[in-house]
Chain A
Amino acid sequence: DADVTQTPRNRITKTGKRIMLECSQTKGHDRMYWYRQDPGLGLRLIYYSFDVKDINKGEISDGYSVSRQAQAKFSLSLESAIPNQTALYFCATARGGTSGMEFFGPGTRLTVL
């Protein structure tokens, strides 16, 4: 089984709909991250969490919210999806400590029409 899983893998939705992307990990890592990837822009950080009680905004958090339900679960929500949120979304985990290597999930391709 994969260490970091994301559901759904693909989603097409309409403008204004609420969407939740889910991430689960079996690595036992404290730190979890949500990134989005757009062509030519690389990955940009949306939100991150260093433990269950810690949530932090990344560089592009507007229009998104997150929930850390447990150490192993970190969900990303789009309260009212808009077309420019069409992107590839990645969840990642890392062990605590500043030198921790990050491990990524397979990604969720989201299309907002």
Chain B
Amino acid sequence: KQEVTQIPAALSVPEGENLVLNCSFTDSAIYNLQWFRQDPGKGLTSLLLIQSSQREQTSGRLNASLDKSSGRSTLYIAASQPGDSATYLCAVRREYGNKLVFGAGTILRVKS
């Protein structure tokens, strides 16, 4: 059974700092991995999707990497801003199905 773990559970940083969120998964046989952002009272917004054959994806100040063999992904946020404050969720799509398995998320607070 695939399990996804996100570390840290919560993170508080000053504005302008670069930061890294970590995601690990137990079964390396995945098709892709997706990073989401969740704001209080709102749904999930997809940030980046990395296919299993890819090593990284970039969107603006966000960069996600994937090391499938070690079961790890990182989300790098450059020059953090207060508007980045949210919960960040990592999810993997299993090889033999089309369902996402989610981690519990990292709660990020960027202080101004």
Question: Which residues of chain B have C-beta atoms less than 8 A from A33's C-beta?
Answer: 99-100
* B102 with A42: CB separation less than 8 A: yes
Q: Are A101 and B43 in contact (CB under 8 A)?
A: no
Q: Is the CB of B98 within 8 A of A94?
A: yes
Q: Is the CB of A50 within 8 A of B46?
A: no
Check A106 against B98 for contact (C-beta < 8 Å): no
Given contacts A58-B99, A107-B42, contact A98 B89 (CB under 8 A): no
**Contacting residues, chain B, for A74 (C-beta < 8 A):** none
Asked if B49 is an interface residue, CB under 8 A from chain A, the answer is yes
- B residues contacting A by CB (< 8 A) are 4, 31-32, 34, 36, 41-46, 49, 51, 89, 91, 93, 98-100, 102-105
**Whole-angstrom distance between the alpha carbons of A18 and B89 in the complex?**
31
Q: How large is the interface on A (under 10, 10 to 19, 20 to 34, 35 or more residues)?
A: 20 to 34
A residues whose Cβ falls under 8 Å from a Cβ of B: 4, 31, 33, 35, 40-45, 48, 50, 58, 90, 92, 94, 98-107
| Bound-state Cα–Cα, A41 to B105, Å | 9
Tell whether A99 pairs with B105 under 8 Å between CB atoms, given A45-B99, A58-B99, A90-B44: no
Contact partners of A106 in chain B: CB under 8 A: 41-43
Residue of A nearest to B32 (CB): A99
Which of the listed residues A35, A48, A94, A102 has the most CB atoms from chain B within 10 Å of its own CB?
A102
A92 smallest CB distance to B (angstroms):
8
A51 → chain B closest CB, angstroms: 12
Given contacts A99-B31, A102-B34, contact A44 B102 (CB under 8 A): yes
- A62 to B: closest C-beta gap in Å: 17
